[in-house]
Amino acid sequence: MVPLENYLVLSAIIFSIGVYGVLARRNAVLVLMGVELMLNAVSLNFIAFSAYLDPDRIIGAVFAVFVITVAAAEVGLALAIVIRLYRNRSTSNVDEAASLKW
Amino acid sequence: MSATEVLWWIFAGIIVITSLGVVVSRSVIHSAIFLIASLAGVGAMYVFLMVEFLALVQFLVYGGAVTVLVLLALMLTRMGAGGNVERANGPQAPFGVLVAGALAAVLITVAVGTAWPGNTDEPTPILIGAISDRLFVDFGAPFVIASVLLLVALIGAIILARQEDE
């Protein structure tokens, strides 16, 4: 079977790719995709730990349920903000939305 | 190497390649399609971990709902085919590579170098009944609060995205 370390390394790689997406992208929706990748990596880590090291209490799996719930709420709200930004400023690039008031 | 391990490595490769596709792709639509594949691949990882319930939730919520939301937002903000292809990355992108690479190095070093307590060779199946026992008995209050959070997020998203010109 596949040992635990494989999942941890895979999850670290996905998380780092997500970090790069958040840091490098200009478009707010693409930044959000990076956040999704990071949340997925965290869920994978939680579930791997609970399946290998904590099979009696499985708190990691329960945490993953909450992570998925909060991620769904976060995506809905963030995309509403992006649509609002686009309607007001005709852009959805995060570097062009730099002013606090207009 | 058993058939399961071969399959695992294939899926791990798919996840890494499609995740890279999400962050380096020129077109936002391609990024969204790569994101679907990547999220589905993580769902397959949950199957390898024998957590079938969360695999199904992953396919439904991430592969279905979240990506449809993202595609709808792309459509509403007219960033589809042809739109802003020329500069998908900001000038800070090289530093992003640096930060992500350093983070990956640290995380992989820690993950491989730590002696994890317990059985790290084989996962124990997590049944849906065990998850429901945990969720509804020990985590009842967070479960209820999560429902309030979803309601507030729903109302907030409607208010934010509403047309105001009437």
Q: State the residue range of the domain holding A70.
A: 4-89
Instruction: In whole angstroms, give the CA distance from residue B28 to residue A33.
Output: 10
What is residue B54's predicted lDDT score, i.e. its pLDDT? 94
Q: Output the domain CATH number for residue A27.
A: 1.10.287.3510
Instruction: In whole angstroms, give the CA distance from residue B37 to residue B14.
Output: 8
The answer to whether the CB of A33 falls within 8 A of the CB of B70 is yes
Given this structure, which CATH class describes domain B1-82?
Answer: mainly alpha
The pTM of the full predicted model, rounded to 2 decimals, is 0.91
In chain A, how many domains are there? 1
3-state SS, residue A25 = strand
Question: Does residue A96 lie within any of the structural domains?
Answer: no
Question: Does residue A26 lie within any of the structural domains?
Answer: yes
- Which chain A residue shows the shortest CA-CA distance from B43? A44
Q: Which of B4, B19, B132 should be substituted to probe chain A, the one whose Cβ sees the most A Cβ atoms within 10 Å?
A: B19
Query: CB of B77 within 8 Å of any CB in chain A?
Result: yes
* Interface confidence (ipTM) of the complex: 0.91
* Chain A residues with beta carbon closer than 8 angstroms to that of B134: 57-59, 61-62
* Chain B residues with beta carbon closer than 8 angstroms to that of A31: none
CB neighbourhood size of B60 (10 A): 13
What is residue A102's predicted lDDT score, i.e. its pLDDT? 55
Q: Which of B2, B14, B17, B70 should be substituted to probe chain A, the one whose Cβ sees the most A Cβ atoms within 10 Å?
A: B70
User: What pLDDT tens digit does each residue of chain B (166 aa) get?
Assistant: 789 999 999 999 999 999 999 999 888 888 999 999 999 999 999 999 999 999 999 999 988 888 888 888 888 876 655 555 456 788 888 999 999 999 999 999 999 999 888 888 888 999 999 999 999 999 999 999 999 999 999 999 999 888 776 5
Sequence spans of domains, chain B: 1-82, 127-166
pLDDT tens sequence across A32-74: 999 999 999 999 999 999 999 988 889 999 999 999 999 999 9
CB pairs under 8 A between A and B: 253
Residues 6+ apart with CB under 8 A from B47: B55
Question: Does residue A94 lie within any of the structural domains?
Answer: no
Residues 6+ apart with CB under 8 A from B75: none
Q: Amino acid identity of B28? A: V
What is residue B66's predicted lDDT score, i.e. its pLDDT? 87
What is residue B23's predicted lDDT score, i.e. its pLDDT? 92
